[in-house]
């Protein structure tokens, strides 16, 4: 009683009032903290929700260094990584909700199938299973300084693409998807991408901001997750049941119409597969040409779409996958101008006859990619002096390169090779204005031959 009496007297003092206030405030805040923690447990930001699991996985992956905190991407935690040899990449540590044995097995089969295919253009991702989570590292769109190439979503926001740019992008994407669809897993299932939203593409641009190469991210992600989980995850993200990065969510909400009906679980009759990529291709093409999103094929004003593309896009957007095209080689049937045909002499060997409503075996696109890389490797051999200058550029011996090309200029001020060499040298040094000057000079001399510049910088930008 004596102690209780002392406490009662103490609480009557100003210090006692302060203590009582702090005690009540602490209890109240604790109540609200635990209430909100339990209430919002399922909707917490996914990086925070799985922070301990992610940290443990990163610690176990000793061959790379994680360089940033990362963002909550659609499939997992996305962040920059570096190897000890100076290479960079972007990693995705998949969310535990998406990882199980079946998912990891399908992801592994996807990339093993690509590795057994033509090695000149399919990405060679590094993937590991650590702490029961799948880690996928992509390098194809990360530059030597650790920065990513230009993301296509950013280009779309700026609305700077011409009709020619859009067609060029779509034709090259058709090349990539057609080649991907030719590859099968060891179980015989054809590969498909399944996540052809604008943020999945990275670009290299030349001096006049023209697209020179397209690199596709998220290879194998949608394929591995599977139809049902993928559709449910889309709904969870859009409805806010799980929280990802706000910018990623905004892009998903804006471009969700690109997913096929079977991917969005709008129809239970059809499975997700190769034909889902055709729907996404058609939806992406419609968006690019109209520069606005749409919700159904009825919303598309086909008068605003170039005539050659209308039939193919309309067929791609059919609800029934079996009514969609079976191969991107069908595009050839609709083009009247040779610059965009998919069967150009430098692009494909002679394609087999195609029935648009029957899945017939197509010729693989390996000859096309072999030829492209053969052209790139042989591009430098204009003459002996040029070859020495080009090798000097590759070894960053700038003084040697300048000396060689300037000597060529003394012999002939209108030498295409000299202007091209100087354009390449200044470009690699980062002196854009000087590079552009010599690029335009070379273009005036031989407009047809200037494509050499684009091919030579294609994988170095």
225 Cβ contact list (under 8 Å, min separation 6): 75, 98, 103, 233
What Å distances lie between residue 340 and 208, 305, 399, CA to CA? 20, 15, 40
The confidence score (pLDDT) of residue 335 equals: 67
Q: Where is mean pLDDT largest: 126-135, 178-187, 217-226?
A: 217-226
**Rounded distance, CA 85 to CA 384, Å?**
33
The confidence score (pLDDT) of residue 340 equals: 45
Question: pLDDT tens for residues 273-313?
Answer: 999 999 999 999 999 998 888 887 888 888 888 888 999 99
Start-to-end C-alpha separation, the chain: 82
Mean pLDDT of 243-256: 90
Q: What is the mean pLDDT of the chain?
A: 80
Asked if pLDDT for residue 35 goes beyond 60, the answer is: no
Angle in degrees, CA 84, 202, 450, rounded to 5:
105
**Rounded distance, CA 119 to CA 109, Å?**
16
206 Cβ contact list (under 8 Å, min separation 6): 212, 453, 454, 457
The model carries a pTM of 0.68
Asked if pLDDT for residue 424 goes beyond 50, the answer is: yes
Question: pLDDT tens for residues 94-107?
Answer: 999 999 999 999 99
Query: 446, exposed or middle or buried, with CB in 10 Å at 0-12, 13-18, 19+?
Result: middle
């Amino acid at each position: 009683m004596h102690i209780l009496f002392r406490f009662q007297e103490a609480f009557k003092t100003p210090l006692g009032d302060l203590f009582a206030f702090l005690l009540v405030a602490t209890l109240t805040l604790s109540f609200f903290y635990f209430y909100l923690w339990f209430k919002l447990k399922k909707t917490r930001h996914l990086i925070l929700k799985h922070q301990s699991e992610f940290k443990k996985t990163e610690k176990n992956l000793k061959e790379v260094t994680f360089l940033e905190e990362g963002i909550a991407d659609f499939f997992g935690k996305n962040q920059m990584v570096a190897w000890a040899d100076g290479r960079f990449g972007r990693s995705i540590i998949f969310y535990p909700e998406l990882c199980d044995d079946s998912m990891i097995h399908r992801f592994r089969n996807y990339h093993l199938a690509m590795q057994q295919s033509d090695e000149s253009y399919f990405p060679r991702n590094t993937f590991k299973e650590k702490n029961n989570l799948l880690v996928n590292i992509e390098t194809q769109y990360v530059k030597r300084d650790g920065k990513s190439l230009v993301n296509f979503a950013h280009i779309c926001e700026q609305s700077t693409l011409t009709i020619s740019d859009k067609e060029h992008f779509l034709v090259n994407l058709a090349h990539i998807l057609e080649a991907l669809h030719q590859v099968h897993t060891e179980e015989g299932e054809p590969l498909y991408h399944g996540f052809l939203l604008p943020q999945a593409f990275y670009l290299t641009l030349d001096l006049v901001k023209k697209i020179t190469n397209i690199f596709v991210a998220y290879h194998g992600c949608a394929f591995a997750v599977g139809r049902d989980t993928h559709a449910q995850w889309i709904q969870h993200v859009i409805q806010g049941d799980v929280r990802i990065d706000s910018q990623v969510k905004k892009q998903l909400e804006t471009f969700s119409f690109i997913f096929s009906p079977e991917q969005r679980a709008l129809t239970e009759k059809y499975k997700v597969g190769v034909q889902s990529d055709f729907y996404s291709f058609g939806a992406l093409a419609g968006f690019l040409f109209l520069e606005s999103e749409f919700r159904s094929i009825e919303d598309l004003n086909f008068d605003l779409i170039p005539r050659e593309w209308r039939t193919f896009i309309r067929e791609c957007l059919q609800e029934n996958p079996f009514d969609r095209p079976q191969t991107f080689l069908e595009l050839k049937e609709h083009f009247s101008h040779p610059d965009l045909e998919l069967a150009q002499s430098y692009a494909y060997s002679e394609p087999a006859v195609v029935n648009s409503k029957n899945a017939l075996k197509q010729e693989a696109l390996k000859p096309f990619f072999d030829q492209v890389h053969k052209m790139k490797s042989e591009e430098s051999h204009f003459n002996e002096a040029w070859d020495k200058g080009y090798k000097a550029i590759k070894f960053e011996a700038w003084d040697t390169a300048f000396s060689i090309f300037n000597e060529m200029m003394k012999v002939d001020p209108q030498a295409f090779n000299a202007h091209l060499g100087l354009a390449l040298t200044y470009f690699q040094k980062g002196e854009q204005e000087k590079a552009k000057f010599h690029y335009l000079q070379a273009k005036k001399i031989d407009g047809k031959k200037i494509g050499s510049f684009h091919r030579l910088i294609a994988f170095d930008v």
